[in-house]
Amino acid sequence: MLACTLYSHILCLLLLASGCSSSPGRRGPRGGGGPGQVCLPFPQLSKWWWAVPADINECLSSPCVNGVCRNLAGSYACECAPGSRLEPTGTTCVDSTKGTCWLQIQDGHCEVNLQGAALRSECCATLGVAWGSPCERCEIDVNECESFPGICLNGRCLNTAGSFRCECPQGLKLDASGRLCVDVRLELCFLRWDEDDCGVPLPGKYRKDTCCCSIGAAWGAECEACGGPDSPEFASLCPRGRGFAPQDFLSGRPFYKDVNECKVFPSICTHGTCRNTVGSFHCSCTGGFALDAQERNCTDIDECRISPDLCGQGACVNTPGSFECECFPGYESSSVLMKNCMDVDECARDPLMCRGGTCTNTDGSYECRCPTGHELVAKGTACEDIDECALSDSLCPHGQCVNVIGAFQCSCHAGFQGMPDRQGCVDINECQVRNGGCDVHCVNTEGSFRCGCGQGYLLMPDGRTCADVDECEENPDICDRGQCTNTPGGHRCLCYDGFTATPDMTTCVDVNECDFNPYICIHGICENTKGSFVCHCQPGYVVRKGATGCSGELVVSDA
pLDDT above 70 for 33:
no
Q: What is 434-508's CATH number?
A: 2.10.25.10
What percent of the chain clears pLDDT 70, i.e. is strictly above it? 85
Q: Which phi and psi (to 5°) does residue 306 adopt?
A: -70, -40
- Looking at 3.40.50.300, 2.40.30.10, 2.40.50.100, 2.10.25.10, the CATH number of the domain 513-552 comes to 2.10.25.10
Helix (H) or strand (E) holding 404: strand 399-404
State pLDDT tens for residues 214-259: 888 898 888 888 888 888 878 877 877 777 766 533 333 444 567 7
Give me the amino acid identity at 319.
T
pLDDT above 60 for 56:
yes
Instruction: Please report the pLDDT score of residue 133 as a whole number.
Output: 85
Closest CA to 268 of 295, 238, 229, 241: 295
CA 72 to chain centre: 83
Give the C-alpha separation, 391 to 509, whole Å: 70
Which value, to the nearest 10 degrees, does the dihedral of the CA atoms of residues 132, 134, 139, 140 take?
A: 10
Give the C-alpha separation, 262 to 304, whole Å: 31
Give the C-alpha separation, 381 to 114, whole Å: 83
**pTM given for the model:** 0.30
- Looking at 2.30.110.10, 2.10.25.10, 1.10.150.20, 3.90.1170.50, the CATH number of the domain 61-95 comes to 2.10.25.10
Confidence band of 47 (pLDDT split at 50, 70, 90)? very low
Q: Which range among 291-300, 343-352, 399-408 shows the weakest confidence by mean pLDDT?
A: 291-300
Q: Does domain 99-140 have CATH number 3.90.290.10?
A: yes
Instruction: Please report the pLDDT score of residue 48 as a whole number.
Output: 34
CATH 2.10.25.10 residue spans of the chain: 61-95, 387-428, 434-508, 513-552
State pLDDT tens for residues 445-496: 988 999 999 888 888 899 889 998 988 888 888 888 889 998 888 889 999 8
Class of domain 387-428: mainly beta
Confidence band of 337 (pLDDT split at 50, 70, 90)? low
Residue 198 sits at the vertex; the CA angle it makes with 284 and 216, to the nearest 5 degrees, is 40
- Is-cis flag, bond preceding 320, omega within 30? no
Show Cβ contacts of residue 412 under 8 Å, excluding neighbours closer than 6 positions: 396, 398, 399, 418, 425
> Are the beta carbons of 262 and 273 closer than 8 angstroms?
no
Mean pLDDT, the chain, as a whole number?
A: 79
CA 404 to chain centre: 54
Tell me the CA distances in angstroms from 158 to 152, 168, 260, one per residue in order.
Answer: 9, 11, 36
> Are the beta carbons of 425 and 416 closer than 8 angstroms?
yes
State pLDDT tens for residues 491-512: 899 998 888 888 988 899 888 8
pLDDT above 70 for 152:
yes
